[in-house]
Amino acid sequence: MSVLKEIIAGVRIDLDARRSIRNHAQIELDAAQAAPALDAFAALGGGEPGARDHVMRVISEVKRKSPSKGVLAQIGEPAELAKAYAVGGAAVISVLTEERRFGGSLADFDAVRAAVGVPLLRKDFTIDAYQIHEARAHGADLVLLIVAALDDEQLREFLDLTHALGMNALVETHTDEEVARAVALGSRIIGVNVRNLKTLEVDRGNFARLATAIPSDVVVVAESGVRDVTDVEHYAAHGADAVLVGEALVKDNDPRAAIEAFIQAGTAAKPVRTRQTP
């Protein structure tokens, strides 16, 4: 069994437990009563290609641990970390809510939502429409949809639901075939994750190859492998509009300054966009 399948098996168990406490109809009502979602697409620089700037955006992640590295940081107050991210200029803040492998929770998400006014990404393994309503109910503006975990019918359904609720989706890809699927379904924000889902190894070189197939009106997010400004510069030079950074920030004693440096370095390295719209 792949790491992804193992994680999803645990996600299903935890999801069933939450659904037994608050059923689908109740979570739909909660979502409908939540304050309107913030525009994460615009926050990440989305818009008409000719009118877009060349500023690098940073999605800063509240991340306690990972399957590949174990415990990354003891985050006593996720809200305080998120505040530092926001002051540093994070365009979006991502909060892990998967519990078994990442040590996250919806409690972490709620704490961050109460503390900052920037768009929030609910980072989890979305396998059921319940989770999308649940994300909106907790104030999420953006959800993660992993192409490798969904067939085309599910991906289309979840994209449509996300947009119907006023949110955006970060559609995560790892291969040429997954990029093609994401593009064909009209994804507005596509993440290229350079971590192999089977081995958990990182190959930063994959980003440049995969990003070239993404249309110029799509926001492209580089995921995984950001250690320092050199990596941000690399991703920026090869077409990234934003980088998603977790480990490097939660381990940094001054995440605010680190984000500022990432934005500055990435912006300086970004070329004029040359990707072709099919």
Which among 193, 206, 247, 270 is annotated as catalytic? 193
**Alpha-carbon distances of 191 from 75, 183, 224, 225, rounded to whole Å:** 26, 11, 10, 13
Q: How many residues does the chain have?
A: 278
Active site residue 61: yes
SS3 2: coil
From CA 18, how far away is CA 16, in angstroms rounded? Answer: 5
Which among 223, 233, 247, 270 is annotated as catalytic? 223
**Alpha-carbon distances of 128 from 26, 63, 140, rounded to whole Å:** 15, 23, 16
Active site residue 206: no
Active site residue 63: yes
Residue carrying the six token digits 């809200």: 79
From CA 35, how far away is CA 97, in angstroms rounded? Answer: 20
Active site residue 201: no
Active site residue 123: yes
From CA 21, how far away is CA 19, in angstroms rounded? Answer: 5
Q: Where are the alpha helices (DSSP H) in 22-74?
A: 24-33, 40-43
Encode 81-115 in three state secondary structure.
Answer: HHHHHHHHCCCEEEEECCCCCCCCCHHHHHHHHHH
Characterize the bridge pairing of strands 189-193 and 65-66.
Answer: unpaired
From CA 171, how far away is CA 147, in angstroms rounded? Answer: 7
Which among 98, 172, 233, 247 is annotated as catalytic? 172
* Tally of CB atoms within 10 A around 175: 16
SS3 194: coil
Which among 60, 123, 134, 233 is annotated as catalytic? 123
Active site residues: 61, 63, 123, 172, 193, 223-224
